[in-house]
Amino acid sequence: MKSFHLLATDNLEKKNFITRLFNIFTDMRQLVIYIVLILFPVVVFAQKNMDEALAQDFLRNGDYQKAADLYEDVYSKTGSESSYSNLINCLLKLKQFDKAEKIAAKQVKRNPGILRFQIDLGNVYKQSGNSSKAKEQFNKAINDISPDMFIISETGQKFYTIAEFDYAIQTFKKGRQVMGNETLFTYDLTRLYNLKQDKTAVIEEALLQLSVNPTFLSQAKSILSSSLQEPKDFETLKNVLQRKINKEGQSPDLADLTIWLYLQQKDFNQALEKAIVFNKVLNEDGERLLTVGEVAANAEQYDIAIKAFATITSLSPKSPLFDEAKMAFISTKNKKIVAGNYKHEDILSLEKDYEQAIAEFGKNNETLYMVRGLAHLKAYYLQKTDEAIALLDDAIKTPRISYAVQAQCKLDLGDIYVISGDIWEATLLYGQVDKALRDNPMGQEARFRSARLSFWNGDFDWAKAQLDVLKASTSQLFANDALNLSLLIGDNLGPDSTNKPLKMYAHADLEIFKNQLAGAKTTLDSLRAIYPGHPLEDDILMAESKISLKKGLYSDAAKTLTEIIERFNYDIWGDDALFMLADLNENQLNNKQKAQELYERLLTQFPGSLYVLEARKRFRSLRGDILN
């Protein structure tokens, strides 16, 4: 009995062992199946990526057949859109149009609502020469457009990628229609019109948006500015604007755009004439006149700017822009005189304008610049140094004057003491500003003027010592001026203690500062005659170019600067002469191409020049680069 019991127990244990073993095997099989199910897509995905990467290499190398075979294999297994698109592209390159048509038609059938696939099929017909079927397919895609911004943009972009610009335009216009919004897709349409060189359409699009939304004015100007390049383009805009004005009458937006057009063409006379007419017709306060005046003044068209500002000040009733226009009027008259383009009666007229404005507006931080301007006029152009000194002495004592304005008045006063020959008073004033604003650019300016005064006074060693400290100035302007004057002194100090040539040059430089231009030219001529071939020859030429600039003789200045560049290109004035000549061509002689060439030459020949940053900016602007 006991033996039977043991046998039964033994059989049961074997059975349980077998059951556990089977269960383990079953679990392992399930695990393997599970692992395979997990890894299979990964393997397939990895294989797809490898095939597509290899196909991309074939495509890049122009082996379209091998690329097509791989893309077709991937597409048949995965149906991915990227493999489909590349496959169609390869088949079109291989001119296998029947196969491409079959695949594209299949893709359309699978995705009946996706318009880009309909366009693919149309493109296959187009490439194969079946233009009627292509048009049918393209028109169907446009007819199927729904009021969905994403679909409309995608469809227009698809037409753009296959260079079907007209259909892309139709897409965006249909999109406006189904969305019920005429302001949509403006920039898409503008880009397409520009690609087609349809400037009239660009203009009409900008004007359409402006008529719907008056706040679109700045965007309209931006669109037109980037699209209209040739003179004929601006003539087209002029004609379209005039037709619109004739049809719809005057409006502030059309007036603004018309004036903007003439300013773009640099036709300041027409811009001013239109501004005067629009201001009267629209019963405005002169804002457009102010804009014309400011742009003209910046372009150094001073007579037009003066007339624009004067028109505002004469408006009745008095314009709210009167004060601003009056100050701009005086400032522009002053700029005209400083530019050397004036008669003696212009100086007397400006003196009277300054005195009336100061009496009307009073003396404070905001108006003391006019006091400084009047003092400058009296001292440098009317030889009334005593009156100029009295004006600035009084200005310095103005209640609640800011430190900066007071310091600037002291610097001006110091300069006028130099003109009057009172070197001690000038030195004292420069020192006061230096001490009060030691770490300020105005303090650096004061130190430079003090060093320059030492140079004019013949104390060359002391002047050079001060200038060498200033060469490390954080201000580019002071550093450059200090460097040039320091090098000039160092290069031309003679072996004896008299330094007569350098003293003659310093005297001429002082005469230029005093605006005694005839005397300066005589001194320079004497220096050249007494010391022919002296190392100061390039400095003499630079001084003569400055005299010509002060007189407004721009062609003479350009001729002298060109001589410096040709004969003394690698001396201290080389980069200065290049930059000055480029600036003259850009802003005075109206030779933009020459200016661009000169800026580029400066960048190449003088990469370490302090003019490099400004020269690069101007060069890029003249080249047509878009600047931030």
What pLDDT is stored for residue 458 in this prediction? 93
Q: What confidence tens digit (pLDDT) does each residue in 409-447 have?
A: 999 999 999 999 999 999 999 999 999 998 888 999 999
- Neighbouring residues of 128: CB distance < 8 A, sequence distance ≥ 6: 97, 101
pLDDT digits (tens, 9 = 90+) for 50-61: 767 776 887 788
Helix (H) or strand (E) holding 362: none
Task: Quote the pLDDT of residue 32.
Answer: 46
Cα(259)–Cα(387) distance, rounded to whole angstroms? 43
Looking at every residue in the chain, the average pLDDT score rounds to 88
Question: What pLDDT score was predicted for residue 559?
Answer: 97
Residues of the chain with confidence (pLDDT) below 50:
1-8, 31-46, 627-628
**What pLDDT sits at residue 628?**
46
Query: How deeply is 173 buried, as exposed, middle or buried, from its count of CB atoms within 10 A (0-12, 13-18, 19+)?
Result: middle
Q: Identify the pLDDT of residue 483.
A: 85
Helix/strand/coil (H/E/C) assignment for every residue in 30-52: HHHHHHHHHHHHHHHHHHHHHHH
Residue 609: name the closest of 468, 486, 484 by CA.
484
Q: What is the pLDDT of residue 391?
A: 96
How much is the CA Rg of the chain, to the nearest whole Å?
40
The values of phi and psi at residue 609, to 5°, are -65, 150
Residue type, position 39, single letter: L
**Cα(112)–Cα(366) distance, integer angstroms:** 71
| pLDDT of the residue at 77 | 85
Residue 72 and residue 26: Cα distance in Å, rounded? 40
pLDDT in tens, 216-245: 999 999 999 888 888 899 999 999 998 988
Structural domains in the chain plus CATH codes: 340-437 (1.25.40.10), 500-623 (1.25.40.10)
Cis peptide before 317, with omega less than 30 degrees from 0? yes
Backbone angles phi, psi at 333, to 5 degrees: -60, -40
H or E stretch at 439? none
Q: Does residue 528 contact residue 541 with C-beta atoms inside 8 Å? A: no
Between CA 329 and CA 341 the distance in angstroms is: 16
Q: State CA 52 to chain mean position distance.
A: 43
pLDDT (0 to 100) of residue 30:
54
